[in-house]
């Protein structure tokens, strides 16, 4: 399928681009749709399928100088939210799948994540440190409401009092206020709500199965009222499409209780670049060239620049303009820039022996 493939309701991608690691590629033939009445010109909608992920470990570590943490948990591989720009899409190619529709319809579920987490936190080699929950894919995507794997991981983290930094686009995080409160009491919990736009029509097209901006702001308010530190993460900022929203977006987040903020310019690794370009062509053709050229401007003439030090910041005059606008908007909103500090001071390995101090 070309970049001009049709939108699929509720999906960010419109096709399955080839896997860069596979020699063979299957291509769906939907040419029959051209012969249908325009009002009925819609192909079959792909259903979401869930697979068991038989992973034997759950805490992933990294040495990247860009991300600000070295340990993370992702209870799911693939993400129903369907954000068209998601940098994690190419990870599905390592599974023999596509970064396109496969990423949002073929979800791998780590059913034993809480048990693995308990084992790894109990190990003598574990060095207590903050764990980022939901980095590559959202730990509060739709299926979490039923499976509660993220909640059970939080129960383990609360029992060990190991600090956790949650990142999500979903109001469902408020379900777990009780557990996050327990950790926050020890300075061991924070939640970053990812908010990319206040325009719900844009959100619906770009992040089709995420919570609306209104619901995300409501989540910030509920978490803040419960005494849980809340940050707003404007990620990604898309030059020429969403960057102008920074002042209003940060003001709305501050009014909802966010006390800190961060932002990252959009990056489009591997198959994400043509997926995003195709999405622009289908949804905002009048802005396509402007947006892509602005991205090239901050990405050293390309749609992606993977270099450490650059990939999370961008380079050039326009990247500096976005940083300046973000900094100014933070100051005017009375919100600090940067990550919240979490404490490991209360970490413990639970035993069957009751404590006099609990």
Q: What does DSSP say about strands 76-77 and 49-52: parallel, antiparallel, or unpaired?
A: unpaired
> Looking at residues 238-245, what average pLDDT do you find?
97
Confidence band of 14 (pLDDT split at 50, 70, 90): confident
Residue 68 has pLDDT above 90, yes or no: no
Confidence band of 24 (pLDDT split at 50, 70, 90): low
Question: 203: closest CA among 283, 274, 272?
Answer: 283
Integer Cα distance of 290 and 241 in angstroms: 9
Confidence band of 19 (pLDDT split at 50, 70, 90): confident
- pTM for this model (two decimals): 0.90
Integer Cα distance of 63 and 13 in angstroms: 31
> Looking at residues 239-254, what average pLDDT do you find?
98
Sorted by where each begins, the domain ranges of the chain are 47-337
Integer Cα distance of 238 and 158 in angstroms: 36
Residue-wise over 234-265: b if at least 16 C-beta within 10 A, else e? bbbbbbbbbbebbeebbbbbbebbbbbbbbbb
Residue 128 has pLDDT above 70, yes or no: yes
Digit-coded pLDDT (tens) for 77-101: 999 999 999 999 999 999 999 999 9
Integer Cα distance of 94 and 19 in angstroms: 9
Q: What is the DSSP string of 26-51?
A: -----GGGGGS-GGG---PPPPPEEE
Confidence band of 65 (pLDDT split at 50, 70, 90): confident
The fold of 47-337 is: pyruvate-formate lyase- activating enzyme (3.80.30)
Digit-coded pLDDT (tens) for 134-189: 888 999 999 999 999 999 999 999 999 999 999 999 999 999 999 999 999 999 99
Confidence band of 358 (pLDDT split at 50, 70, 90): low
Residue 2: its pLDDT value, please? 44
Task: Output the six-digit token pair for 119.
Answer: 């084992």
Rounded mean pLDDT of the chain?
A: 90
Residue 62: its pLDDT value, please? 84
Confidence band of 108 (pLDDT split at 50, 70, 90): very high
Residue 226: its pLDDT value, please? 98
Residue 22: its pLDDT value, please? 66
Q: Kindly report the backbone phi and psi dihedral angles of residue 235, in degrees, each rounded to the nearest multiple of 5, phi listed first.
A: -145, 120
**Percentage of the chain with pLDDT > 90?**
79
Q: How many CB atoms lie within 10 A of CB 331?
A: 12
């Amino acid at each position: 399928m070309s970049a001009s493939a049709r939108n699929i309701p509720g999906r960010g991608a419109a096709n399955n681009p080839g896997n860069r690691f596979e020699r063979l590629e299957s291509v769906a033939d939907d040419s029959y749709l051209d012969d249908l009445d325009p009002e009925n010109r819609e192909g079959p909608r792909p259903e979401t399928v869930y697979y068991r992920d038989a992973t034997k470990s759950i805490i992933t570590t990294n040495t990247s100088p860009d991300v600000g943490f070295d340990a993370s948990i992702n209870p799911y591989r693939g993400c129903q939210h369907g954000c068209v720009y998601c940098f994690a899409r190419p990870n599905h190619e390592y599974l023999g799948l596509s970064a396109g529709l496969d990423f949002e319809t073929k979800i791998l579920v780590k059913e034993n994540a809480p048990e693995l987490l308990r084992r790894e936190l109990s190990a003598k080699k574990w060095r207590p440190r903050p764990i980022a929950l939901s980095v590559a894919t959202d730990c509060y995507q739709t299926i979490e409401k039923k499976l509660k794997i993220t909640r059970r991981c939080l129960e383990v983290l609360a029992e060990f009092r190991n600090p956790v930094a949650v990142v999500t686009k979903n109001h469902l995080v408020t379900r777990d206020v009780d557990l996050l409160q327990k950790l926050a009491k020890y300075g061991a919990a924070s939640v970053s709500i990812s908010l990319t736009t206040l325009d719900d029509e844009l959100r619906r097209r770009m992040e089709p199965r995420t919570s609306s901006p209104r619901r995300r702001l409501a989540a910030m308010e509920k978490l803040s009222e419960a005494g849980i530190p809340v940050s707003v993460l404007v990620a990604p900022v898309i030059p020429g499409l969403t960057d102008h929203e920074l002042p209003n977006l940060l003001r709305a987040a501050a009014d909802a209780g966010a006390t800190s903020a961060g932002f990252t310019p959009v990056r489009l690794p591997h198959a994400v670049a043509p997926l995003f370009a195709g999405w622009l062509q289908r949804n905002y053709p009048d802005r396509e060239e402007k947006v892509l050229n602005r991205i090239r401007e901050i990405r050293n003439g390309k749609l992606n620049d993977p270099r450490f030090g650059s990939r999370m910041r961008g380079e050039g005059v326009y990247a500096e303009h976005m940083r300046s606008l973000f900094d100014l908007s933070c100051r005017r909103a009375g919100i600090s820039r940067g990550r919240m500090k979490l404490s490991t001071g209360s970490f413990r390995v639970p035993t069957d022996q009751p404590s006099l101090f609990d």
